[in-house]
Chains A and B, each alone.
Chain A
Amino acid sequence: MSKHENCSDCQNPYTPHPARIIRILPQIPDHQLFQIHIRFEDQGKVFTYRPGQFVMLSVIGVGEAPFSISSSPTHEGIIELCVRRIGHVTDALFRLPPKAMVGIRGPYGNGFPVEKLEGNNLLLVAGGLGMAPLRSLLWYTLDNRSKFKDVILMYGAKNPGDMLFKYELLSLLDRTDVKCLLTIDKKDESAIWKAHVGVVTTLFDFVDIDPNDTYAAVCGPEVMFKFVLDELLKRNFAKDRILMSLERNMHCGVGKCGHCMIGYKYTCLDGPIFTYWDAINLPEMV
């Protein structure tokens, strides 16, 4: 029989762990960074994760939603989620009083294959909220700097007021161990912006990358994907050296509810990080 014989030993994967928001850092309008401390009832367990993984966050009485972990696992003890206010759960999250309790399950998803990336150059290309998962990878590589060759970040926002982690990223401009290229789509007359202007693909003119020992990680809105992919393919990137983080509707995060299924892959189990080659083989993709 194919029943699950030892179910009394199984953990119910659906019950969130209590967690506390310890700090809220406003970013840009309707985007906040939540620092969250997760308490495990059964002590001794630490919350460990990979860059690119996500958690399911519950707000009591409203529901649950998936969010990429935005912090690096090298910073133990807390996780950071960068959240855009867009619907029921996110709205409720923004209404919570300071130090409120939330529920967390996870981490879920495959995350970036960091072991595989080691010894390579890394090109991170982000647009808008796509910076949230890539920030985790960025700090992970910077904290394990010796394991990677060149690290390049390209990040585009609509205008300076829409740039997430702006000061944190601006501070990277002075570092020599990372090449940080920031751009805005259009120059806003009133704002002071000294860096580049133009869509994110225009940044490719400033770098010289060898596609053979480089991995590209791309995350951003659907429209951006297409242009960045064109650019990478033009530069002869192998399709399985391009990594992308996908977003789908998710209700469980653990490969049961069906919502995030693309073809025969679960975004929550097999993703959210897919290579471009994987993605080509999924129906309904780019």
Chain B
Amino acid sequence: MSKPKVGIYGLTGCAGDQLVILNCEDELLNIVGALDIKSFSMAVSESDDDCLLDIVFVEGTVVQPRDEEMLQNLRERAKLLIAIGTCAVWGGLPAMKNEFSQEEIKKKVYGPAGDIFKTTAPQPLSSFVKVDLSISGCPIEKEQLLQAVASLLHGDLPRLPGYAVCTECKMSEYTCLLVEKGQLCLGPITVAGCKARCPGYGQPCIGCRGPVEEANVSSEIEVLKEKGFTWVDIQNRLRTFVASIDPLQIESV
């Protein structure tokens, strides 16, 4: 079998997910040996930005017309488009909702000079193009990335867990921060894959991997309210990583 042609691209983001690829120090030379990497601008100068691709990994959020153009172009060129990282999958931190509008923020930051920049409301990739596989995480987990590469080399798409962080948290037998310590933990509605890293360090889950399918956000809100958290705290925590979770909407249902 010929090596799959692969592109690794970043839209607007912290480059953490591309860095996770580079952080596979032990496997990196095997990975690049098994793939025909056509573009990886964070690590490689030579880049073919016109060729057709078998697989493209895209990191980051769409926050400006330039990002969207690039994304559309990648979609046209690639057989499989894989969103890597919570920014690409859910919108991530740039899509964090708060009381300011995009224009207001731009004004605040740049003053009148801000008018020269075009920005759009930050959105995940799936708001613009079909995404064939989503690997979420802020940043993505190395194991999931390697698993994905192995499956893709086999011609298959990896099957990533759909259950919640709590499941992994309990599998590791960590003390429950929500139930036993009354902390604001988003583990029950956040998708697993991190092996409950934060609870393992005694830190509540802040939801960096995005929600599980069918997340019961309204019940989570009820639970947190019962624990005595204010509406502002709950709201803030819920809208940190995911553009589509709007607690206000959920609350009004």
Which A positions have Cβ atoms within 8 angstroms of B? 61-62, 88, 91-92, 95
Task: Kindly identify which residue among B150, B156, B159 contacts A92, using a CB–CB cutoff of 8 Å.
Answer: B156
Q: How far is the CA of A61 from the CA of B159 in the complex (A)?
A: 12
Residues of B within 8 A of A91 (CB): 156
Add 12 more A-B contacts to A61-B156, A62-B154, A92-B156 (CB < 8 A): A61-B150, A61-B151, A61-B154, A62-B151, A62-B156, A88-B156, A88-B157, A88-B159, A91-B156, A92-B154, A92-B155, A95-B155
How far, in angstroms, from A228 to B155 measured CA to CA in the complex? 40
List residues of B (147-165) whose CB comes within 8 Å of A's CBs. Answer: 150-151, 154-157, 159
- How far is A265 from B157 in the complex, measured between Cα atoms in Å? 33
Q: What are 15 sample pairs from A and B whose C-beta atoms fall under 8 A apart?
A: A61-B150, A61-B151, A61-B154, A61-B156, A62-B151, A62-B154, A62-B156, A88-B156, A88-B157, A88-B159, A91-B156, A92-B154, A92-B155, A92-B156, A95-B155
Chain A residues with Cβ below 8 Å from B157 are 88
* Nearest A residue to B155, CB-CB: A95
Which applies to chain A's interface (DSSP): helix, strand, loop or mixed? helix
Bound-state CA distance A61–B151 (Å) is 8
User: Bound state CA distance, A95 and B154, in angstroms?
Assistant: 10
B contact residues, total (Cβ < 8 Å): 7
Q: In the assembly, what is the distance between CA of A62 and CA of B159, in Å?
A: 10
Complex Cα gap A92–B156 (Å): 7
Sort A-B residue pairs by CB-CB distance and give the 7 closest, nearest first. A61-B154, A62-B156, A95-B155, A88-B156, A92-B156, A88-B159, A62-B154
Given the complex, which residues of B lie within 8 Å of A92, measured CB to CB?
154-156
Find residues 133-179 in chain B having any chain A CB closer than 8 Å to their own CB: 150-151, 154-157, 159
Residue of B nearest to A63 (CB): B159
- What is the CA–CA distance of A174 and B150 in the complex, to the nearest angstrom? 52
B contact residues around A95 at 8 Å (CB)? 155
A95 to B155 CA separation, bound complex (whole angstroms): 8
Within the assembled complex, what's the spacing in Å between the Cα atoms of A27 and B157?
Answer: 26
Residues of A contacting B150 with CB < 8 Å?
A: 61
With both chains docked as a complex, state the minimum distance between the C-beta of A267 and any C-beta of chain B, in angstroms: 22
- For residue A88, which residues in chain B have a CB less than 8 angstroms away from its CB? 156-157, 159
Q: Which residues of B contact A62 (CB under 8 A)?
A: 151, 154, 156
Residues of chain A contacted by B155 (CB below 8 angstroms)? 92, 95
Closest A residue to B159 using CB positions? A88
Nearest-neighbor residue (CB-CB) of A62 within chain B: B156
Complex Cα distance, B154 from A248, in Å, reads 27
For B158, the closest partner residue in chain A by CB is: A88
Report the nearest B residue to A91, measured CB to CB: B156
Q: Which chain A residue lies CB-closest to B150?
A: A61
Q: Which residues of A contact B151 (CB under 8 A)?
A: 61-62
Give complex CA distance A4, B199 in Å. Answer: 37
Q: How far is the CA of A61 from the CA of B154 in the complex (A)?
A: 8
CB proximity to A under 8 Å, residues B33-54: none
Question: What CA separation (Å) do A1 and B103 show in the bound complex?
Answer: 72
CB distance from B19 to the nearest CB of A (A): 28
Which residue of the partner chain A has the closest CB to B156?
A: A62
CA A91 – CA B150 in complex, angstroms?
16
